[in-house]
Structure 1
């Protein structure tokens, strides 16, 4: 029988303990529909020795939430899995580069529109002041390039003091007002095919759209411009992907821009998928048959 491993968080990381088991339950039900046996296993058990994963026909890193808190260990794991030639999907090389949001700069170089971004090796008050002057924006977002779930993300107004700045590499962007009014839209692709889309809005007064901060999620039909941008992003990545979540928002002139291309551990929002995960199951089955 086909054996699939689903990589899960470090057991010592309690930050997502109330959420990820629900996602695992949905994924397991979908994957078992392919006739496979599904086994969850912490990714942190396989960072230096890949032998514990060698027997699996497919390894899905789709619930490795929290990897950003131990990024060096994550990169070591990706190198270990690559060297072992494990059937990881998305590939371990993709898992490595996608874990640092500096990839957005490379996509921008290929013509993908992203919000104006200032890249920093370590944000200072002087650099923040320069970003306000450069962008003319009254509000900026500051966040680490290695982050997830709004980890250490700051929303700062002109004149605010920089307190609890992210350590190390970071990005500074104008705050998009549309996040509060229209939210962010995620387009899900399985095996390169569009599956469904979800709009995510923050609660009034907040800017964080994540569910743990009260984000409101609704299934939507993306417009032609959003779909075209998502396809442009996938073409710019130009690597085989079992799954991808393309997060978009509108800039201050109403054009769609890429916020993130989530290729590691995205929530697929299968509870908002009209097909109940059938597209993901079909993509997994095709991957196994290949």
Structure 2
């Protein structure tokens, strides 16, 4: 049995206490099929000293939920792990830049289609009013560039007061109404190979597709255009990735847009994976034996 480390939330953060143990159990079960035992350990216990992590042949940061609430420490930790030569997947450098959605701007500069976006620091009422005028839309979404699970995300209508806006860098985008009708589609890749796709839809009247807000998930066969966009995104990233979840949605004209490339702690939707994570486990085994 090969023993690796699997990073979990900060014990001082109770936000996910009722959720992450079940995710850990599913991950440990699929890894065990390849003779891999995953030791659960909070990422915050290794943010200042990488010695224990460096002793493992592989570290998986798959349940570091809540890092966005302590982002400066997260960035410092990923830099420390990179300098210490910790074998972590995805690479520590990727874990750093992927934690700030400003990476979408860089991917857009490489030709990856994303939703029209205004990048603002601590967006004000004036910023939002200007974005309404610029996009000629009846709804906007404002979200922090460092966030997870719809954290501090606002959906606004013209004339609506901007209350509890993100205090730092944020994205202002036209609201994609297709989220309510077509949902968001996620494509999962393990070891560079496509595994499965899941379509996620919000409850009526909401825009948040996460399960904690009532979102429903369905395994789907991705359209060719979805696969083409995912492959374009992965080619634009061009870094060694053990896993990737590429989230996308269509605009009103049917053109697929990248929503996020989740490369840190994405939910793999193993309940929707026909192999229940066997493909991921094989990719981990291949990395261990490479």
User: TM-score scaled by structure 1?
Assistant: 0.99
Question: Is the contact between residue 7 and residue 64 of structure 2 (CA under 8 Å) also seen in structure 1?
Answer: yes
Q: Does 1:157 align with 2:157?
A: yes
Within 1, Cα distance between the matches of 2:271 and 2:17? 19
1:181-200 correspondence runs (5 A):
181-200=181-200
Partner of 1:285: 285
TM-superposition CA deviations, 1:135-161 (whole Å, max 9, x none): 001100000000000000000011111
TM-superposition CA deviations, 1:218-258 (whole Å, max 9, x none): 11110000000000000000001000000000112111000
1:211-226 correspondence runs (5 A):
211-226=211-226
Question: Is the contact between residue 184 and residue 200 of structure 2 (CA under 8 Å) also seen in structure 1?
Answer: yes
Within 1, Cα distance between the matches of 2:23 and 2:194? 20
Question: Is the contact between residue 202 and residue 216 of structure 2 (CA under 8 Å) also seen in structure 1?
Answer: yes
Within 2, Cα distance between the matches of 1:213 and 1:18? 15
Aligned-pair distance for 1:55?
A: 1.9
Q: Does 1:204 align with 2:204?
A: yes
User: TM-score scaled by structure 2?
Assistant: 0.99
Q: Does 1:92 align with 2:98?
A: no
Within 2, Cα distance between the matches of 1:251 and 1:16? 32
Partner secondary structure for residue 15 of structure 1: helix
TM-superposition CA deviations, 1:187-226 (whole Å, max 9, x none): 0000110000001100111110011111101111100000
Within 2, Cα distance between the matches of 1:21 and 1:140? 35
Partner secondary structure for residue 173 of structure 1: strand
Aligned-pair distance for 1:16?
A: 1.1
TM-superposition CA deviations, 1:32-61 (whole Å, max 9, x none): 111122100000000010012122111000
Partner secondary structure for residue 176 of structure 1: coil
Q: Does 1:108 align with 2:115?
A: no
Aligned-pair distance for 1:27?
A: 0.3
Within 1, Cα distance between the matches of 2:4 and 2:52? 13
Aligned-pair distance for 1:82?
A: 0.4
Question: Is the contact between residue 3 and residue 56 of structure 2 (CA under 8 Å) also seen in structure 1?
Answer: yes
1:115-264 correspondence runs (5 A):
115-264=115-264
Task: Provide the aligned C-alpha RMSD in A.
Answer: 0.7
Within 2, Cα distance between the matches of 1:198 and 1:37? 27
Worse-superposed segment, 13-22 or 110-119: 13-22
Aligned-pair distance for 1:95?
A: 0.1
Runs of 4+ in 1 over 3 A off after TM superposition: none
Question: Is the contact between residue 54 and residue 85 of structure 2 (CA under 8 Å) also seen in structure 1?
Answer: no
Within 2, Cα distance between the matches of 1:202 and 1:18? 21
Aligned-pair distance for 1:113?
A: 0.2
Partner of 2:51: 51
TM-superposition CA deviations, 1:253-285 (whole Å, max 9, x none): 111000000000000001100111111011101
Aligned-pair distance for 1:93?
A: 0.2
Within 1, Cα distance between the matches of 2:234 and 2:218? 23
Within 2, Cα distance between the matches of 1:185 and 1:45? 34
Partner of 1:32: 32
Within 1, Cα distance between the matches of 2:155 and 2:104? 20
Within 1, Cα distance between the matches of 2:86 and 2:54? 7
Within 1, Cα distance between the matches of 2:271 and 2:114? 28
